[in-house]
Amino acid sequence: MTTIQETGEKVAANVERVIVGKGSEVQLTLVALLCRGHLLIEDVPGTGKTMLAKSVARSLGCSFRRIQFTPDLLPSDVTGVSAYNQELREFEFKPGPVFANLVVGDEINRASPKTQSALLECMEERQATIDGTTYLMPEPFIVMATQNPIEYEGTFALPEAQLDRFMLRIRIGYPGHADEISIMDQQRISHPIDDLGEVLTVDELRSLQAAVREVYVDPAVADYIVRLVNGTRTHPDVYLGASPRGSLALYRSGQALAALSGRDYVIPDDIKRLAEAALAHRLIIKTSSSMHDIDPRQVVAELVSTIPVDESRDGTVRRGGQIPSAAKPGTTSSSSR
């Protein structure tokens, strides 16, 4: 896991030459990359959403395409189209910008729901079906999309099925006082992204993604993940809770976060750290609760604070709700004796 940690630090340091003072958000971005998961970056205009995606793309030695989503964008503008070749006298497929290792969808919620839905098959099944023919996406295939809050003018809410396909959703937020001064100083003459170079090849990325799958997840941690997700389905303020994709997202992202931290096993704190990013965007709050300003992030935070970490099958809490953080393959914790 040392290699993954060192490589992650190298990529993060490269990205943070552009994205100042947002180490936590950069780390979550790397988590999504290592899990082959898609990332949704949501915040108000001007906070660096697109710049974060472009910085990551420049740091990786893989094919990169950017799609600017607009209200008049058509599904064929994203996936491609079959055009008639007069010389060959046959139809040939002209792939759209979605056929790349890393696809940045800028302001994805400015396109119509019909165009947004063009990404559903690509994101889940890593393929696109055009005119009855199925074309596979390159490996790896990762979508990093940015969007403004849905209450902003000229935006469309993403379909629930598409939101569920994003492994993580992050918010960048405004920079701190000192960080904003640093940003102005850095861009006084030129933008630092102009000098950003590649620090990780696509083969190295594939190797790291495979290694992350080997990180150990204790059955008690897996049980905690499922109880958290089940909590979203039974919460009184939630109309629709997280799907099994939410459980898988927490499981996989927990493995990646552990590896980036230099561990070959997941601890409960990893799951707590990732719960909001992995689950909040999958929840639909009841209308009656939303009228009282109940937010999905509040619901997830409440569940994390109230659901005990370690619980026996009969519902009793063991060891004060704590799983030994050193629990690893081949060891026996006192709570399991």
pTM for this predicted structure:
0.86
pLDDT reported for residue 328: 52
Name the phi and psi angles at 274, rounded to 5. Answer: -100, -10
**CATH code of 316's domain:** 1.10.8.80
pLDDT at 320: 37
pLDDT at 314: 44
Query: Does residue 86 sit within a domain?
Result: no
Phi-psi map region of 46: left, alpha, beta (phi>0 left; psi -120 to 50 alpha): left
Q: Give domain status of residue 315, yes or no.
A: yes
Q: How far apart are CA 206 and CA 138, in angstroms?
A: 12
Report if residue 295 sits inside a domain.
yes
Which pLDDT score is estimated for 141?
A: 92
Helices and strands counted in the chain (H then E) = 14, 13
Residue 14 lies in a domain: no
Mean pLDDT, the chain cut into blocks of 10 residues (337 residues total): 87 92 92 94 87 89 88 91 84 90 90 87 90 88 87 77 92 90 87 88 91 94 95 92 94 96 94 95 88 89 92 45 47 39
- Is 115 inside a domain boundary? no
Domain count, the chain: 1
Q: Is residue 304 part of a domain?
A: yes
290 phi and psi angles, rounded to 5 deg: -65, -30
On whether residue 305 sits in a domain, the answer given is yes
In the Cβ-directed half-sphere of 275, how many Cα atoms lie within 13 Å?
27
Q: Return the pLDDT at 152.
A: 67
- Tell me what pLDDT residue 293 has: 84
Which of 250, 245, 228, 242 lies closest to 321, judged by CA?
228
Show contacts of 60-63: CB within 8 Å, 24+ apart: 60/11, 60/33, 60/101, 60/102, 60/198, 60/200, 60/201, 60/202, 60/205, 61/198, 61/200, 61/201, 61/202, 62/100, 62/101, 62/102, 62/140, 62/202, 62/205, 63/100, 63/101, 63/102, 63/138
C-alpha 176 chain-centroid distance: 24
Residue 252 structural domain: 216-329
Residue 136 placed within a domain:
no
